[in-house]
Chain A
């Protein structure tokens, strides 16, 4: 079965430092991978997706993600974190039945 795992419940980083939010996946066939962000009491917002092509995917708000097939990972990154990046981040994979399977989410806390 298709699945994603986010091994960290929370990531803490100082403003201005680089951030990484980890995601690993398990799929049969080609993976279609996504990152979403959820601010408090809001719905999810799309950040970026990997379908095919370059392993480094650029998305909204300066975020990017690196697809690594050998490590079955799709980590979310940003070179310089902002306090306003503090939110709940979800990794997701298309499960080949037309829906997305989401990870448990990682809370990102950026301190000034």
Chain B
């Protein structure tokens, strides 16, 4: 069974540009989570999508946005890139909505570098 897949693996952008990151959850999983892992800051929750709806959002500015498609894959968009957006962006999926009933399964991440 395929795990959570993310693309691209690496992405280099310049300040002010836009970045789009993609995630395909494990087959049958309806929930997708996005986390930012910046150097020295641990994992910061960005967004949670379930059944195509945004269920929760972390403390990030509106230029971080996303969506979930009917096939449950998801896209994270970051507009007006800033240097501090450089980070590893991790996507995770879960079988049930929310996390109390089960663990998250993570992809290997997309490394975004903003120059």
Contact = CB atoms under 8 A, between A and B. Distances in A.
Interface residues of A, number: 23
Interface residues of B, number: 23
Contact of B99 (A42, A43, A45, A100): A100
Contact of B108 (A42, A94, A98): A42
A46 B50 CA distance: 20
Interface stretch (A18-26, A69-77, A79-87, A101-109): A101-109
Nearest to B103: A46
Interface stretch (B40-48, B64-72, B76-84): B40-48
A41 B98 CA distance: 26
Interface of B is mostly: strand
A98 B99 contact: yes
A96 B4 CA distance: 24
B114 to A, nearest CB: 19
Given A43-B4, A43-B90, A103-B42, A98 B55 contact: yes
Interface of A: 32, 34, 36, 41-46, 49, 51, 90, 94, 96-105
Given A99-B56, A100-B99, 17 more contacts: A32-B99, A34-B103, A42-B109, A43-B4, A43-B92, A43-B106, A43-B109, A44-B92, A45-B106, A49-B103, A90-B43, A96-B100, A97-B56, A98-B99, A98-B100, A100-B33, A101-B45
Interface of B: 4, 33, 35, 42-43, 45, 48, 50, 55-56, 90, 92, 97-100, 103-109
